[in-house]
Amino acid sequence: MNSEKKKKCFGKKLAIAAIGGLLCGAAVFAIPTGYNRIMEGRAEQNAGPVDTEQENQEKENLILTSDSTQGARESSVYDVSAVWNSALPSVVIVNVKQVSTYRFLGRVYEQESSGSGTGVIFAQGDALYVATNHHVIDGATTILLTFADGTTAPAEVKGSSPTEDIAVLAVKYSDISESTLKNIRIAALGNSDSLKCGDMVIAIGNAAGQGLSLTVGYVSALDREIELEGGKMTLLQTDAAINPGNSGGPLLNAKGELIGINNAKLVKTSVEGVGYAIPVNTAALVINQLLHAEEIEYKDSAYLGVKCQDVTETLSEALDMPVGVYIAEMTDESPAAEAGIPLYAVIVEVNGISVKNEEQLREVLAGIRGGSEGTVVVQERIRGEYTKKEYKVTYGKRKDVEK
């Protein structure tokens, strides 16, 4: 039997609040040093093209959709062509292929499927780095990027965070034509913390897999907590049309600065114009972590010395505790104890990456080298109320406690 081919635009279905639906998660890989720091310089670091001298350089559901130099004038509600022209060189189409196997009448068959999304050129160093959504590339066997000029290049996943729905792709400079390198640009970063309801925004993406297009709207709400399977995300809400295929694409302000990564749309027959994006300040923090991450053997990975229990959404509501990883036991003289982290606190973040359960905690620690310094954020009960506190930690080495 021949393989049946399918094509789709990302992407998956999620649930909002307590309503059921489908979900949109992690491997961390070695990243060469020398790339431009994402949070540093912001728009100033994006003034020029990529360095060509580096040769190797009907229920309420959510559907994941799967010249940085600014123009001479700021776009208005009547004309956003300046944003389109300045941002387009930093936007790519992400096409993926997946191969799945299934059994039928005792025989094994392969089925190939394809999907498309969008990405944003975020940084450069030993390779060109592109940010997109985790759900766009989840399970991909091949990834092919298409630049604004129509040329293509293969990409590899260098890091991915299913919890935050962020992935980083790397493209070898040798796979990018010289003319393309001269014209592509790194996205100019804005500040999502400064956004206000009513600010105009522009979304660019590979909507419906038909090529890059632009939609315009406004910031409808800030800090929307959207319930997904296994946790929540805090997102920007916009009425700019976010459609399947827009996943991973940029949400821009009137200056053409990146202020969000598009990732979801509310679908309901009685609802129009409700889309969501990951705030760029959140995305940049996660991307920096992924770019810094290195491939570490398990024995050399970080160790905290705590025994934990998950505080799920259900337990959180029942026990009036924050969602996270509850410290039930702590080893004497462990890294956590020496850092002053109290017993019975709830771990919510490690080295800037949020953790909502023990599996995610192990995942993050596996990408940290033992002996290095970092930060652990906990919610601890003080005078009957939970308060967030950050502790500096020197992580232990896994091999030292599992001899």
Helix (H) or strand (E) holding 361: helix 358-366
Return the exposure string of 96-135: e unless at least 16 CB atoms fall within 10 Å of the residue's CB, then b. Answer: bebeeeeeeeeeeeeeebbbbbbbbbbbbbbbbbbbbbbb
Residue 115 and residue 98 in contact, taking contact as beta carbons nearer than 8 Å: yes
Q: Which residues contact 156 (CB under 8 A, 6 or more apart)?
A: 143, 169, 170
Q: Count Cβ atoms within 10 A of the Cβ of residue 80 and give its class: 0-12 exposed, 13-18 middle, 19 or more buried.
A: buried
Taking the C-alpha atoms of residue 147 and residue 178, their distance in angstroms, rounded to an integer, is: 13
Q: Count Cβ atoms within 10 A of the Cβ of residue 76 and give its class: 0-12 exposed, 13-18 middle, 19 or more buried.
A: exposed
Structure tokens belonging to residue 119: 């990405």
DSSP classification of residue 44: G
Preceding peptide of 231 cis, ω within 30°: no
Q: What is the dihedral of CA 120, 125, 127, 130, to 10 degrees?
A: -10
Q: Count Cβ atoms within 10 A of the Cβ of residue 28 and give its class: 0-12 exposed, 13-18 middle, 19 or more buried.
A: buried
Catalytic residue numbers?
Answer: 135, 165, 247
Closest to 247 measured CA to CA, from 166, 169, 155, 353 = 166
